[in-house]
Amino acid sequence: TPRILSGMQPTHDSLHLGNYLGAQVNWVRMQRDFDAFFCVVDQHALTVGPAPEELRRRTRVTAAQYLAGGIDPDVSTVFVQSHVPEHSQLAWVLNCITGYGEAARMTQFKDKAGQRGAEGTNVGLFTYPMLMAADILLYDTTAVPVGEDQRQHLELTRDLAQRFNARYGDTFVIPEAHIPGETAKIMSLQEPTAKMSKSAANQNGNLMMLDEPKVNTKKLKSAVTDTDNSVRFDPEAKPGIANLLRIHSALSGESIDALVERYAGENKYGALKTDVAEQVALVQAPFKARVDELLADPAELDRILARGAERARSVAAGVLERAYDAVGFLPSV
Ligand code: AQP
């Protein structure tokens, strides 16, 4: 069976609706057709310098959200990146075939380094894409379900795999990005031309999966729209309304055309916002309840993650050995 791998960073106490609609919904859809690996990428999260107890808590919360969103640990392999040392081992090898200029062109790095300044930018942030490439290539992954923001990193992963194969002989499977249509980029409610982001300065633009529904309702009521007063789907001219329509459509299963028809006429922005809030609450309330249940028994959660790590290592070890041998490292036994 073909394999998928994806992950999220435990950089926040809750995922946002963009993570959920852009990535997780697809994970759940795909887990039965693929041999699926879902990783909590705690080593990536270390690049933003979390306090140790924060990272520990967020790693568990993130894993709990995978399960609450519908990932079945009996079907998929759910694990924590730092439990599988092969990730950093392969990352080193990939660092050595990545051009400095190539890495410096990554827009996510440029954005984050720009925000943090030279003093606040660590080398981990720079080598992030090569660690991500290792995450993917270690599992002979065929498809990677992610949001639009990860497209460039996926392209780099493919380039590195092809370069490695050309230089050292056929070693890695070349993965394909699997990016959804309308939900690939859920926008900030406050700045609808920028993506909803855990690290955004204005958190009022984020709908957090684990917030109380009334908090999200309030954020939706003050979502930025436009003064044109009619509901139409026009992402260029009306990014705020387009974002609300996409969110509604993804959660309710109704087509965007049907929604545009429903909110035809003047002064329907309020009604649209109220209805989106209702759809968000419908998904969010059971999600949050399930997360609370899972966190009440951290030992069980840790057992699931330990089982996942064991399965992950059983695959990753073989692929790493292939790569180590290909580059000319001596076998250790
Ligand atoms: N706004 C979004 N719309 C659709 N998909 C999104 N993803 C992130 N933001 C959106 C997808 O969620 C997955 C997990 O991402 P991550 O944890 O690696 O975080 P990120 O991509 O760096 O984005 P975040 O969550 O906003 O965090 P920060 O602010 O720290 O960068 C990925 O599949 C991503 O595509």
Paired tokens of 228? 């044109």
Average pLDDT for 140-148: 96
Kindly tell me if the per-residue pLDDT of 266 is higher than 90: no
Task: List the single range of 12-16, 172-176, 198-202, 207-211 with lowest mean pLDDT.
Answer: 198-202
Lookup result for tokens 């933003």 = 48
- pLDDT recorded at residue 96: 98
Q: What number does the ligand 1 atom closest to the CA of 8 have?
A: 17
Mapping DSSP to helix (H, G, I), strand (E, B) and coil, where does residue 173 land? coil
Whether 40 and 81 have beta carbons less than 8 Å apart is answered as yes
Q: Is 195 annotated as a binding residue?
A: yes
Residue 159 pLDDT: 98
* Residue-wise pLDDT tens digits, 160-200: 999 999 999 999 999 999 998 889 999 999 999 999 998 78
What is the DSSP-derived secondary structure letter of residue 330?
P
CA of 214 to the centre of ligand 1 (A): 23
State the average pLDDT over residues 208-230: 95
The answer, yes or no, to whether any atom of ligand 1 lies below 6 A from the CB of 243, is no
Give me the interface pTM, i.e. the ipTM: 0.95
Q: Count CA within 13 A, CB hemisphere, residue 207.
A: 33
Looking at the annotation, which residues are catalytic? 112, 195, 198
pLDDT of 265 reads 86
Residue 295 pLDDT exceeds 90:
yes
Query: Using a 6 Å cutoff on CB, does residue 65 contact ligand 1?
Result: no
CB of 153 sitting under 6 A from ligand 1 = no
How far is Cα 89 from Cα 316, in angstroms, rounded to an integer?
10
| Residue with CA nearest ligand 1 atom 34 | 147
- For the CA atoms of 257, 260, 261, 263, the dihedral, rounded to the nearest 10 degrees, stands at 160
pLDDT at residue 201 is higher than 90: no
| Average pLDDT score, the chain | 96
CA–CA separation, 164 and 172 (whole Å): 8
Is 0.90 topped by the overall pTM? Answer: yes
Residue 224 corresponds to which tokens in the numbers above? 């930025």
Mean pLDDT of 291-315: 98
Encoded tokens for 291: 């997360």
For residue 136, the surrounding DSSP H or E stretch is: helix 123-137
Residue 157 pLDDT grade (very low, low, confident, very high; cuts 50, 70, 90):
very high
**pLDDT score of 198:** 86
Predicted confidence (pLDDT) per residue in 26-85, tens digit: 999 999 999 999 999 999 999 999 999 999 999 999 999 999 999 999 999 999 999 999
Q: Which atom of ligand 1 is nearest to the CA of 199?
A: 29
CA atoms within 13 A of residue 16's CA, in its CB half-sphere: 24
Residues 6+ apart with CB under 8 A from 136: 5, 144, 154, 157, 175
Average pLDDT, integer, range 221-233: 95
In whole angstroms, give the CA distance from residue 54 to residue 10.
9
DSSP per position, 85-127 = THHHHHHHHHHTTS-HHHHHT-HHHHHHHHHHHHHH--HHHHH
- 312 exposure class (CB count in 10 Å sphere: 0-12, 13-18, 19+): buried
Compute the distance between CA of residue 280 and CA of residue 39 in angstroms, rounded to an integer. 25
Place of tokens 């069976």: 1
Q: Does the C-beta of 149 come closer than 6 Å to ligand 1?
A: yes
Residue 269: its pLDDT value, please? Answer: 96
Helix (H) or strand (E) holding 285: helix 269-295
Residue 333 pLDDT more than 90?
no
Q: Separation of 118 CA from ligand 1 center, angstroms? A: 23
Per-residue pLDDT of 119-133, as tens digits, reads 999 999 999 999 999
196 lines ligand 1 (CB under 6 A): yes
Could you tell me the strand order of the sheet in which 35-40 lies? 77-80, 35-40, 3-8, 143-145, 176-178
Report residue 299's pLDDT band, with 50, 70 and 90 as the boundaries.
very high
